[in-house]
Structure 1
Amino acid sequence: MTNIPALSNKLHDGVLALPSGPLVEASLAAARAAMHPSVLNHCIRGFYWSRLFAAHQGVLNDADYNEELLFAANVMHDLATGPDAPGLLRFEIESADLAAAVLTGVGAPAGDVDKVWEAIALHTTQQIPERMGLLTYLTYEGIWIDFGKNADRVAEEQSQIHAAYPRLQMVHHMAEEILAHGARSETAAPPYTLAFHLAQERAADGVTTMERGVVGGPWGE
């Protein structure tokens, strides 16, 4: 990771630097209004992990790399865990729909709105994001770094990021929020979705695979 500064000047303000502008402000405001503090911290950390992953992959200077959209996709990817979600579709789709409404409201181009929608809608879907656009790929990888995947790629920066945005038992709260959303209707947790499997696991022995995964993992809770 020592080669990151040479890849792009986008990190020159430090690991905790954030993009700015109306799109960023609106995304963060929506996330703050909707999410449990631990889930909000998870979403912000996802942005940092995504940016660091992008640096590791050498794509910070690619034409398709857009830091404002990367922030929006990460910070709003769990919006449906909040009170404004209808609870009629799986939480990934409702999060994407809510995020699209936020971006449309601040005048983001339709193409950018579609990219963020895709990144959020696919953030729990394995093996597909890496075949989509750069935003979807980076968003997926950043979110899953926060669950311990590729933790070695952010080892130098993780202590500073976790100090600024602590975990606060995120995985437990995340599971609870996804389960609550999925319980709102049959169509909110259809078979083979994450919410469906979490509900089965919780009913079976009270603990989900998501929660078990943090035991002995790189980040803990």
Structure 2
Amino acid sequence: MPDTPTLSNKRYDDVLALPSGPLAEASLAAARAAVHPSVLNHCVRGFYWSRLFAAHEGVLNDADYDEELLFAANVMHDLGTGPDAPGLLRFEIESADLAAAVLTGAGAAAGDVDRVWEAIALHTTPQIPERLGLLTYLTYEGVWIDFGKNVDLVAEEQSRIHAAYPRLRMVHHLAEEVLAHGARSETAAPPYALAFHLAQERAADGVTTMERGVVGGPWGE
């Protein structure tokens, strides 16, 4: 299943199992419709990395651990790069708003919607997620493992995950989508936001630090 994830009822003993249920199904459908195939693979990998990080942290059985919400937060965290984003706010916030609408439409409780919104809105913000709820923390860590952080924690499983969901030059495509979203209005790329910095870097020498970081990085592109 290289580019089209499917849901499963299997438990975590299968590293490639995905949660099932109405929230997971709605989240995956929204992501498939909105983001570039390489970005979709990135979002699904983020869920796997988040779950493996949770296992490393010993929190899989914590009361606050919710696998369906973790999947929703990961798989929809880049919805703001898609066609339904208004282009008026940072892509992280518009991703969170779009995800909240999806979950609300699927019948999620208001508190769960708020948790997913927070996790997505803060997924590019360092030093804050670990001080908030478990969902926000795990989502942040999963996203950044896909950019080369803490890769030793997923070394045993990464080859199967990358084989199922290959990278397909994800960093380049994601940078392009974030830059395109940021160019839609001044408020979509305010000073100090990720899109603002990427635009400055691209204008300066044609490449962003996000793209440069994959050269010689642990995953490659």
TM-score past 0.5 threshold: yes
Q: Which runs of 5+ in 2 are unaligned?
A: 1-9
Match of 1:107, SS state, is coil
Is 1:27 the counterpart of 2:31? The answer is no
Which position in structure 1 is the counterpart of 2:99? 99
Task: Tell me which stretches of 4 or more aligned residues in structure 1 moved more than 3 Å.
Answer: none
1:11 matched to 2:9? The reply is no
Aligned residue number for residue 6 of structure 1: none
User: Structure 1, unaligned stretches of length 5 or more?
Assistant: 1-8
Offset of residue 192 of structure 1:
0.2
Distance 1:139 1:179 in 2: 22
Residues 95-133 of structure 1, C-alpha deviations (whole Å, 9 max, x = no match): 000000000001100000000000000000000000000
State the TM-score, normalizing by the size of structure 1.
0.95
CA shift, 1:185, in A, is: 0.1
Provide the aligned C-alpha RMSD in A.
0.8
For the residues of structure 2 that align with 1:77 and 1:193, how far apart are their CA atoms?
Answer: 16
In the alignment, what sits opposite 2:52?
A: 52
Q: Hey, what's the Cα distance between the residues in 1 that align with 2:188 and 2:46?
A: 24
Partner of 1:120: 120
Residue number in structure 2 paired with 1:37: 37
Match of 2:176 in 1: 176
Offset at 1:10? 4.7
- The Cα of 1:11 is off from its aligned counterpart by 1.5
Kindly report which structure 2 residues correspond to 1:179-194, keeping only aligned pairs within 5 A, or say none: 179-194=179-194
Superposed CA deviations along residues 120-177 of structure 1, whole A, max 9, x for unmatched, are 0000000000000000000000000000000000000000000000000000000000
Q: Hey, what's the Cα distance between the residues in 1 that align with 2:187 and 2:27?
A: 27
Counterpart Cα distance in 2 of 1:188 and 1:28: 25
Q: Look up the SS of the partner of 1:123 in the other structure.
A: coil
Work out the CA distance in 1 between the residues paired with 2:106 and 2:77. Answer: 18
Q: Deviations over 1:180-211 (max 9, x none)?
A: 00000000000000000000000000000000
Percentage of matched positions with identical amino acids: 89
